[in-house]
Every structure is written in structure tokens, then in C-alpha cells.
């Protein structure tokens, strides 16, 4: 498969999925959504893939969603009627079910929630907005010294998304989660490791990804013969992550997007965005 917004590479049992719009700080447009979902779907069915690593090209991991001036959005809104999409549209409140800026992100994060192999974040630099919140669905997270995590949802006039109202507290503890949600606090790499969000901090250098992959391969070497690794780790993850947990996450994700839509429809989102003339800092 040919991708335009991501690069996909396999090193033995490790599939690397690299967000690749460095001039846009790897912000995700609708095409990147579609391509990441397609790559995860292929990885899920590939017996040679034991784990998937999500990373980014350049200095940023991902600085959020970027649906502005995105010609794909209109296309996408029309074109999708596969079984999963139809189900998601039916599950959403009426007014959201036709809105691609709602059902496409819901479908995107559902892909993360349902992904059945270990998903590893190799955070090469700042993770902002949904770049941060999507990491909440990664199992293991590594980052560089230069990484920070920042989710100023209120500043963007939206609401916490991707289950962050549930998972930030689970992964950061209540104090840091609340400071993120209510006070837009930035979290640096050391703070993230102190609370267990990040398992290891590596230097911010060109070989960051190579070093992360080496750590992962050292781990996989202890997972039995290569042909058994994918099925073994999938079965371990099934025990960790039962169906009812996934259902609760999806329901929370829907509730969050309902608030996002409420704010958009009521005009609050526009009011907030007008209030801030400046851009997000880089």
C-alpha cells in the first residue's frame, strides 16, 4: 500500500508507523487518519508483526488535528459506508452522525481501542492536543528528553477528547490529569516518567527510533520463537484489556465528542478562537 502522510517500515517483528507531515508538525488531517487506520488494520492481520510503534518525523511527534482547508474531508464525508462506519454513525447522536469531524475521529480512536497487538509510542518530540491524547491508547511509551505533553483543550474552544477525561487520570494520577484538563499544564519528559506515563527517556538524537526499536527487539527476544510472538502477545493483551473496558472507553469518547459538538453548535468554539488571535506556540 502507498501512503502519502505516513511512512511504514517493518524491522523483524516490529512495524514502525511514522507520522510524516513534518512541515505541519505532523498534525493529522483526514488523510492521515485514513492511512493510520489502514496501516493498523493491515498490522493486525499480519502474523509477522508482533508490535506496532507509532512515531513522527522531525522535531514533533504530532501537534494535533488539522482539518482546516482539508479537501479530503468533503471526500471522506461522502465516501465511507463500510460496516464499522455505519455502526459508528448509528451510535452517535443524530446531529453528529453526518459530521465527518465527529465520526472520523471516533472511528480513528476506535481503531486504537480495538487494536489487538501491543502498541508502543516512540515520542520523538512534543505531543500536543490529540497528539497527546491518542498516546493514552498506547501500551508502552518511550520519549526523548525534549518531549513535552500538552493538551490545551479549552484554549482551542473544544473539549478533552479520545477518552482523555478517563485515561489522563488513569495514567498521570489525578493531580497532574486535572492540571492538564483544567489548567492546560505542560508536562515535561521527567514529570511524565515520574508518574509512570513514560517508561524510558532517551536522548533527543537522530538515532532515537533505532534505540527504541532495539529495546523492543531485546524484549521480543524473550517472547519465544519468532513465529509465536504475535499470537502470544495478542493473547496476553486480551487478558489485560477485556471487552467491557473497550466498551467503556468508546462510550466516554462519544460523550466527549458530544460536548465538542455542543460547543461548536452554540458558537462557543468560534468565540474562543476569536478571543485568541495568536497561534499555538511551536
Which among 114, 135, 162, 163 is positioned nearest to 61, based on CA atoms? Answer: 135
| C-alpha to C-alpha distance for 23 and 57, rounded to whole angstroms | 9
Nearer to its own copies, 202 or 220 (CB): 220
Q: Which of 52, 165, 201, 250 binds its own copies (CB under 8 A)?
A: 165
Sheet holding 148-150, edge to edge: 127-128, 148-150, 187-188
Q: Does 126 participate in binding its own copies (rule CB under 8 A)?
A: no
What is the size of the binding site for its own copies (CB under 8 A)?
63
Q: From the CB of 28, what's the least distance to its own copies, in Å? A: 22
- Judged by CB under 8 A, the chain residues 227 through 246 that form the site for its own copies are 228-229, 232-233, 235-237, 239-240
Q: Which of 214, 247, 255, 265 binds its own copies (CB under 8 A)?
A: 255
Sheet holding 6-11, edge to edge: 6-11, 14-19, 51-56, 119-123, 140-144, 200-202
Q: Which of 37, 140, 189, 249 binds its own copies (CB under 8 A)?
A: 140
From its phi and psi, is residue 261 left (phi > 0), alpha (psi between -120 and 50) or beta?
alpha
Q: Which of 68, 69, 206, 225 binds its own copies (CB under 8 A)?
A: 225
Nearer to its own copies, 34 or 119 (CB): 119
Q: Does 188 participate in binding its own copies (rule CB under 8 A)?
A: no
Report in angstroms the alpha-carbon separations of 277 from 63, 130, 158, 273: 18, 21, 16, 7
Q: Which of 155, 188, 211, 264 binds its own copies (CB under 8 A)?
A: 155
| C-alpha to C-alpha distance for 135 and 214, rounded to whole angstroms | 21
252-258-260-263 Cα dihedral, nearest 10 degrees: -140
Nearer to its own copies, 21 or 229 (CB): 229
* Residues facing 119 on adjacent strands: 52
Q: Does 116 participate in binding its own copies (rule CB under 8 A)?
A: no
DSSP element (H, E) containing 106: helix 100-114
Choices 1-9, 18-26, 79-87, 164-172 (CB under 8 A): range interacting with its own copies: 164-172
Binding site for its own copies (CB under 8 A): 51, 118, 139-141, 152-155, 157, 159-160, 165-166, 169-179, 181-185, 193-199, 215-216, 218-220, 222-225, 228-229, 232-233, 235-237, 239-240, 252, 255-256, 259, 268, 271-272, 275
Amino acid at each position: 500500500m502507498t501512503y502519502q502522510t505516513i511512512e511504514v517500515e517493518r524491522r523483524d517483528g516490529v512495524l514502525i508507523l511514522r507520522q510524516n507531515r513534518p512541515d505541519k508538525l505532523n498534525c493529522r488531517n483526514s488523510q492521515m487518519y485514513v492511512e493510520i487506520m489502514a496501516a493498523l488494520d493491515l498490522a493486525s492481520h499480519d502474523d509477522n508483526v508482533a508490535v506496532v510503534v507509532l512515531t513522527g518525523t522531525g522535531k514533533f511527534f504530532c501537534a494535533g488535528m488539522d482539518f482546516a482547508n482539508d479537501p479530503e474531508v468533503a471526500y471522506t464525508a461522502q465516501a465511507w459506508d463500510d460496516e464499522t462506519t455505519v455502526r459508528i454513525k448509528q451510535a452517535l447522536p443524530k446531529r453528529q452522525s453526518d459530521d465527518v469531524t465527529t465520526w472520523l475521529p471516533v472511528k480513528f480512536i476506535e481503531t486504537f481501542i480495538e487494536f489487538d497487538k501491543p502498541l508502543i509510542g516512540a515520542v520523538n518530540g512534543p505531543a500536543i492536543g490529540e497528539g497527546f491524547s491518542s498516546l493514552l491508547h498506547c501500551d508502552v511509551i518511550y520519549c526523548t528528553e525534549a518531549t513535552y505533553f500538552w493538551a490545551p483543550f479549552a484554549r482551542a474552544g473544544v473539549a478533552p477528547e479520545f477518552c482523555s477525561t478517563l485515561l489522563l487520570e488513569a495514567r498521570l494520577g489525578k493531580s497532574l490529569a486535572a492540571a492538564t484538563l483544567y489548567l492546560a499544564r505542560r508536562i515535561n519528559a521527567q514529570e511524565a516518567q515520574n508518574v509512570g506515563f513514560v517508561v524510558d527517556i532517551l536522548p533527543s538524537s537522530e538515532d532515537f527510533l533505532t534505540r527504541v526499536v532495539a529495546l523492543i527487539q531485546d524484549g521480543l527476544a524473550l517472547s519465544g520463537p519468532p513465529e509465536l510472538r504475535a499470537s502470544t502477545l495478542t493473547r496476553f493483551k486480551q487478558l489485560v484489556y477485556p471487552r467491557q473496558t473497550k466498551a467503556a472507553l468508546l462510550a466516554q469518547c462519544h460523550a466527549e465528542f458530544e460536548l465538542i459538538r455542543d460547543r461548536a453548535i452554540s458558537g462557543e468554539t468560534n468565540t474562543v478562537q476569536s478571543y485568541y488571535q495568536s497561534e499555538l506556540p511551536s
